[in-house]
Structures are given as structure tokens and as C-alpha cells.
Chains A and B, each alone.
Chain A
Amino acid sequence: MSVLVFIESAEGEIKKSSLEAVSYGAAVAANEGTSATAIAFGSIDEAKLKEVGKAGATKVLHVNDDRLDKGVIQAYANALTQAVEKEGAKVLVLAKSSLGDPVAARVAVKTNAALASNVAELPDTSSGFKVKRSIYTGKAFAMVELKADVKIIAIKKNAVEVKEDGGDATVETFSPELSDADFGVQITGEERQTGEILLPEADLVVSGGRGLKGPENWGMIEDLARALGAATGCSKPVSDMDWRPHHEHVGQTGVKVSPTLYVAVGISGAIQHLAGVNSSKYIVVINKDPEAPFFKAADYGIVGDAFEVVPKLTEAIKARK
């Protein structure tokens, strides 16, 4: 028996959330007296795969098939199921993501597994196998017991730290049987933000709201984000008005983030926005209205005009870095 971890990559780079899953899987494996094996798909350099060992995997199965460079859900699910069987894995760990969700659901059905999604902590195995899930969009948790032989855990982003104390992993080629039916969905194109920090995985986030008045003022949000090394986000009306792309919209109906620092500029802090940020470790709020509800959720607050405060803050951060 081993613990298997599904690794996602984009353009040959392994995602941070997947390295979190590897570290989580390694901790579960250590607890069960076994080891963690990772599985990666598509064209990735062997050196990058070996490095997954640092996060805690002793072995990486590589499905080196360039048809899998893109996230073909059914093919991934089929290959992953075969890997679960080959490794005799009793636990499969992955990151909750736009690919992880649909893949995990299919594998759960194929392997008769119990699946818990949005998991925030390591399992409690003192009696049964229980995990803590984040529910009600971050407003509460549920302890859930996984009753099936195979357990699948989709972890919430940034809930686990990536460990870097392991050695190199051994890399093995794995060639699952895939049929044409696994490729029935045609991925015809992609639009991807490049060269910047991905919002859902970011450790630091600077978000702007309607208080910024218009897209022409986003330069100061980007400057602050750059000074911090942060990703940028926004509130829903901002993306609804096309000031910013939809994938930057944070909240109940948008991206849920869980960074160590969330800076909200000119955002009122409506409950639907808070729902997407309430698992941030620290929240800074800059708003000219002292009554803005966001201050109630904040750790640090400044009452002031964003157009004055933000440039000053950016300069102060640059000077102190």
C-alpha cells in the first residue's frame, strides 16, 4: 500500500498547490508507515520530476504522453485509476482545483472511494479516518469520516506548507491504457495569464474594488502588488464591468483565496466578498469609509483615500525590502 499524489502542471511547471498535496501525502504516508508516490502527466523535464522528492515523494510515475499536456479530464481520471490499482494506493491526495475537482470525482466512482474535498488539515486516524473540511464558503468546518477502502482527499489551497527537506525522487515511466473515448472532449484553445503569480495559489494578494473608480487606476494596485510580490484580485462589480478579467474576481461566486496576506483596497467587504477571503491569515483593509464592514474582518486597517494611501504604501514597502 502507498499514498498516491496527483500532480498538476502547466507548461511543464509543477503547480505549487500540487507540491502542497505532495507534502500532505508524505505526512499521511509517514503516519501509515508507508511512502508517497506522485504521478505526473504530459511533457515535463525529468529533473523537475526528481525535484518533487524534496516535497516528500520517494517515487514519481510519469505518464509521458503529450496528449496529456492539457487537462483531458477523462483520460487523467482513467490513468489515475490505473495508477491507484497498480500501486495498491489506499489514499489519493490532490489539490482542489478546476482540474482536480472533476478528475477526483470520476476516480472516486471508478475506485468506489470516499472523497472529501476542500480539506484543511491532516487526517485524524485515531478512530477511523476523519478529515476536516472547509464548508459554507469558509464560514465553518465539518469533520467527515471516510468510510470506503480507498480514500481521496482534495486539499484546499495554501492549507498545507510545502516541505523542502526530502531528497530526489526516482522517476518511472508509467503507460496506462487509454482509449479514444478518453479523448472525446476536444480542447481547442486556451487563454492563460502569463508571467504573473496565479491568484488561486498566491501567498500574497492585493485586491481592488469599485472604490478605485475605473480600470485606468489599476496601475497603483499593480505597483503595490509588484512591490509585495503579490497577485492581483478584484471584487465582483469590478469584473462585471470588465475593468478586470473574470478570473481575478474574488469571493463567493469567484475565486476563493487563502493567502498569508490579503490587502483590500476600496472594497466594502460585502459578505459575498468576505466568503472568498475569510481563510486569509492576515487581512489589511484600506477604505475611506470608517464604517466599511471589511474593517470588522481585518487585522490591520487604514481609513483613508486609496489614491493617497496606496502610492505611499508602495514606496514604503519598496524602501524597506
Chain B
Amino acid sequence: MKILVCITHVPDTTSKISFTDNNTKFDSTGVQYIIGPYDDYALARAVEIKEQTGGSVTVLNVGEAETEPTIRKALAIGADEAVRINAEPTDAFFVAKQIASHAKEGGYDMILMGRESIDFNGGQVHGMVGELLGLPALSPVMKLDIEGDTAKMAREIEGGKEFIEVKMPFVAGCQEPIAEWKIPNMRGIMSARTKPLNVVDPVDSEKPTVLENYEMPPAKGDVKMIDADNVEELVDLLKNEAKVI
């Protein structure tokens, strides 16, 4: 089984978000970067499938040189080799085009990634890659089993799940509980240092969306505390002040 896993390089989930340069740049001061949490699920499942069926896992990231520690972490978790497409990932279509261009020649049986990145939350790249390659793309996939040339999946839908069968190759945007996150062990970390990480130039692509600037949501007002013995007051406030009930 030949598996491609696409990962994002994103601020740690607990990061405080702020911007500089007149709200046009993300302020990365003191921010720790991680593999996108949904991508981590995709990677963990890919490594499990490889362990069961043999084959290889390639990780791919569209990003500039600063993403290499994140890519090395994916290698430490169990990917065999890595590709970094040397470009700033500023538009979903641009990223999808890079991934599709790499995957076209790769003969992958499946392309896994997270359902969305936790920075831009677009949830578009898997679908675009599927369309560019003429493959089915399913998301958000929470269960993935391979039987022969068929993948059996569960996809989360609003208020439930849908069961799916599809022939390989396919693209999937993954989420929990598809697998347990894997934590790199010492052997993984050592071997990651010598695994191949190929840097390639991006292919030409338009960027149909352009970021103008960022905004922060309005600050929250103070919390009104209500005595536990006086729930009536809360009902009053919800009815007359907030007008939500």
C-alpha cells in the first residue's frame, strides 16, 4: 500500500492569536507549531495501515523552510519519506494544485489528510485534490478499513454518520476517532533524522483568494455572577436582558 499523507504546520491549539503589521501578518512570536491535529489522525491511521499491509507512507507539506521540524516529527511518528513543496500556503486551491501535481505521478493508493487545518479552517483541500485528480474525496472520515481493493469508511454527517464503500485510489479528510494519535519514540526520532526529505519547487498556479487583513472579534464583556440559590435571577436575565428564551 502506497499512502500519501498531507500535513499542515499550524500554531499549537492553545496559542494566543494576534497580528502585526497593521493586522496583515500573523504574529508568530512565542508560538509553538505542530502538525495539524486532524492531520495527526490521518498520519496515525496511515502508519497503522502500513503496519498491517506493508508499503510506505510519504508525508507532504506545502510550506517554507520553517516547517521542516514539523515534517521531521511526522517522519518520527512513522512516515518513510517526506516531500516539502517550497511555497507559502496562502490559498486552498494553490495548495491543492501542488498536492495534486505531486500525487499525479506517485501511484498512491490513497491520499489522507485532516478534514481541515486549524488555522484557516477551510476544509476544501481534500475535495479540490480529489477533483483535480478525478478521484472520489470523502470527508470527514472517522473510520477507515481496507479490504482488498476497497475502503470501508464512516463519514460524520450532521447528527450521525454515513457508511461508505469506495474503490482505491481515493482522497480522505480525516478526523477522530479514526486512530489514536501516535507519539514519537526515541527510535523514531533518531531514524527521522536520516529519512529523505525532498524539497521541490511549486508548480504554477493561480491563487483565486487573496487575504486583505485580519480582525479580532470584539472583546467579551464581564461575566455576571448569579448566586446558586437564586436560579430565578438567571432565568430573568436570559428572558429579559439576553432575550434568548
Contacts and interface: CB of A to CB of B under 8 A. Distances in A.
Interface of A: 10, 15, 70-71, 73-74, 77, 96-99, 101-106, 108-110, 112-118, 130, 132-148, 184-193, 196, 198-201, 204, 228, 240, 246-247, 252-253, 260-261, 271-272, 275, 278-279, 281-282, 284-285, 295-305, 308-309, 312-313, 316-317, 320-321
Question: A101, A103, A143, A308: which has the most chain B beta carbons within 10 Å?
Answer: A101
B176 interface: yes
B136 A191 contact: no
Contact of A300 (B138, B160, B223): B223
Contacts of B234: 284, 300, 302, 313, 316
Query: Does more than half of chain B's interface fall in helix, strand or loop, or is it mixed?
Result: mixed
Contacts of A187: 162-164
B93 A252 contact: no
Contacts of A108: 93, 124, 128, 208
Contacts of A261: 238, 242, 244-245
Interface residues of B, number: 79
26 contacts: A98-B140, A99-B157, A102-B126, A105-B92, A105-B96, A105-B127, A105-B137, A108-B128, A115-B124, A139-B217, A140-B217, A142-B120, A146-B208, A147-B206, A188-B164, A191-B160, A275-B13, A285-B223, A298-B223, A299-B220, A300-B237, A301-B224, A302-B231, A305-B228, A316-B232, A317-B235
A181 to B, nearest CB: 8
Contact of B226 (A138, A246, A301): A301
Interface of B: 11, 13-14, 17, 19, 37-38, 92-93, 96, 115-116, 118-128, 130-132, 136-140, 142, 155-167, 173, 175-177, 206-217, 220-221, 223-228, 231-232, 234-235, 237-239, 242, 244-245
